[in-house]
Amino acid sequence: MQHQKILVLDFGGQYNQLIARRVRDLGVFCELKPSDMTAAEVRAYAPVGIIFTGGPNSVYEAGAPHIDEEILALGIPVLGICYGAQLIAHLMGGEVARADMGEYGKCTLLIEKEAPMSEGVPYESVCWMSHTDRITALPAGFEVLAKTAACPIAMYGDAARNIYGIQFHPEVVHTRYGTAFLKNFLYNICNAAGDWTMAGFVQEQVEKIRSAVGEGRVLCAMSGGVDSAVAATLVYRAIGKNLTCVFVDNGLHRKGEPEEIMRIFKDGLGMDLIKADAQDLFLDALAGVTDPEQKRKIIGELFIRVFEKEAAKLGKIDYLVQGTIYPDVIESGKGKSATIKSHHNVGGLPADIGFRGIVEPLRDLFKDEVRKVGTELGLPDGVVWRQPCPGPALAIRIMGDVTREKLATVREADAIFREEIERAGLSRDIWQYFAVLTDSKTVGVQGDSRTYENVIALRAITSVDGMTADWARIPFEVLERVSTRITGEVKHANRVVYDITSKPPATIEWE
């Protein structure tokens, strides 16, 4: 099935992918493409509407990105946002100039003229601005639709040509009616049908993967995390048995995780999933190592070695699947989006397996969209809502050296903490929650005897992106149950403490 499409031309602004995401949320398929697309390419793409994004340049500067001007004459509705709005005004005969004073942050938007673009938006509302240039004169045929105190042309349009410009950012949450403006553009101006859903996304990706990969053999490192699980399931849906997944069991996973992964993906979905049993290899290599960075390095390198060995057993592999999601793309500065890219080495995976390319079906999605895709693919909530877990897993939640006995202690304590948080219905409000085995021992009394055992620390944080975090205000009753159970049920633990440090100054993990 062909979906209607909105084309977002990228002028380099920081919220560009967010625009695409809002459009998708509003039920219209949308992709971000480079701004140097020609009018012929745009016509061939056949979008029902085009959005020009914001960007860091000034339209009148030499070298500022422009467009093939014929795009404005194709008869396809256009919405320019920020730089995009200025570019339209500039190219069509209006004027853009540097303002005496920039306008940043929250501003009061006043509707000048009721129009299909402002349906459902009150006369006065809050919008979010970020600009130094502003439009000082509109091209012929355009009228002002909204203003702010510092920006007399905050929104403009020409209903005859269906071309509109918005100086503020409708895509950010601080613009109170931002979604309404975007919705109005899609449904009142572009007459979109709203035919895009997660089911549509899955179908589209399945087709793309099939045509890109053909009969090629594909390999995926499955970590059990939501991103790699969803990516693998999507690729599996597209090419079935031509996908092989490898799960490296390093002995450092949380309780029940390796079994769960095998049960869901191999037994349940029928994937060709290989478990590489490498527990001894990892634990032997970690013996006596206490430095956190050293632990990480050993685990990272061994992972690659084990993965390479498994890949070599499979013979020729053409593609590697990666669960890269959009925030990873921004973080690693990898830039423009594409589902299938030529060979590069991301995330420390081996560059010399000899594959032809990387399949990254989630590159354009945000975490919550990935979860929706997972649900659409029928993955259970336990996978779709799994909290993030670092690659080195329990090894960096044991202070000091890692032994089998310490792993058993922290694994059991962690399982109890997770169980109680889930039972209390708090799991979706808390970003991460886990137990740490400290390297302190304290005196206790259990039964009638004195004990000298380990202190377990509980860490639970709220966060949006893991960059900053606050400690979660877990009800005392829940903490009490966890403490009672850990000291009662877990061997070698006689004391439980709760970590009440935010990030910064602490990090989320203890090592």
Residues that bind ligand XMP (CB under 6 A): 296, 388, 390-392, 432, 466, 503, 507-509
Say how far apart CA 145 and CA 389 lie, in whole Å: 49
Closest CB to ligand XMP among residues 132, 507: 507
Half-sphere exposure of 27 (CA within 13 A, CB side): 11
Which residues pair with residue 213 across a beta bridge?
Answer: none
Q: Which one is catalytic: 103, 112, 171, 511? A: 171
Burial status of residue 244 (CB atoms within 10 A of its CB: 0-12, 13-18, 19 or more) = buried
- 31, 364 Cβ separation under 8 angstroms: yes
Burial status of residue 499 (CB atoms within 10 A of its CB: 0-12, 13-18, 19 or more) = middle
Sign of the CA dihedral with 198 first, then 202, 208, and 212 last: positive
- Shortest CB 95 distance to ligand XMP, Å: 47
Minimal CB distance to ligand XMP: which residue?
390
Closest CB to ligand XMP among residues 163, 299: 299
- Shortest CB 461 distance to ligand XMP, Å: 9
46 Ramachandran zone, left/alpha/beta (phi>0; psi -120 to 50): left
- Shortest CB 299 distance to ligand XMP, Å: 8
* Contacts by residues 68-75 (CB-CB < 8 Å, ≥ 24 positions apart): 68/36, 68/37, 68/38, 68/39, 68/42, 69/39, 70/38, 70/39, 71/37, 71/39, 71/42, 72/161, 72/163, 73/39, 74/39, 74/42, 74/43, 75/162
- Shortest CB 414 distance to ligand XMP, Å: 13
Angle separating helix axes 226-239 and 367-376, nearest 10 degrees: 40
Closest CB to ligand XMP among residues 187, 510: 510
Closest CB to ligand XMP among residues 47, 390: 390
Q: Collapse the DSSP code of 398 into the 3-class scheme (helix H, G, I; strand E, B; otherwise coil) and give the result.
A: strand
- 349, 320 Cβ separation under 8 angstroms: yes
Q: What are the b/e assignments for 384-415, b being 16+ CB within 10 Å?
A: bebbebbbbbbbbbbbbebeeebbebbbbbbb
Closest CB to ligand XMP among residues 32, 321: 321
Q: Using alpha carbons, list the distances in angstroms from residue 202 to 2, 21, 219, 233, 235.
A: 13, 15, 20, 10, 10
Q: Which one is catalytic: 112, 169, 420, 511? A: 169
- Shortest CB 432 distance to ligand XMP, Å: 6
- Shortest CB 391 distance to ligand XMP, Å: 4
Say how far apart CA 97 and CA 482 lie, in whole Å: 62
- 239, 317 Cβ separation under 8 angstroms: no
82 is catalytic: yes
Q: Which one is catalytic: 30, 82, 127, 389? A: 82
- Shortest CB 506 distance to ligand XMP, Å: 8
171 is catalytic: yes
Closest CB to ligand XMP among residues 38, 507: 507
Which residues pair with residue 271 across a beta bridge?
Answer: none
Closest CB to ligand XMP among residues 61, 293: 293
Closest CB to ligand XMP among residues 257, 376: 257
Say how far apart CA 455 and CA 441 lie, in whole Å: 6
- Shortest CB 467 distance to ligand XMP, Å: 7
Which spans in 365-511 are helix H? 367-376, 381-384, 404-423, 476-489
Active site residues: 82, 169, 171
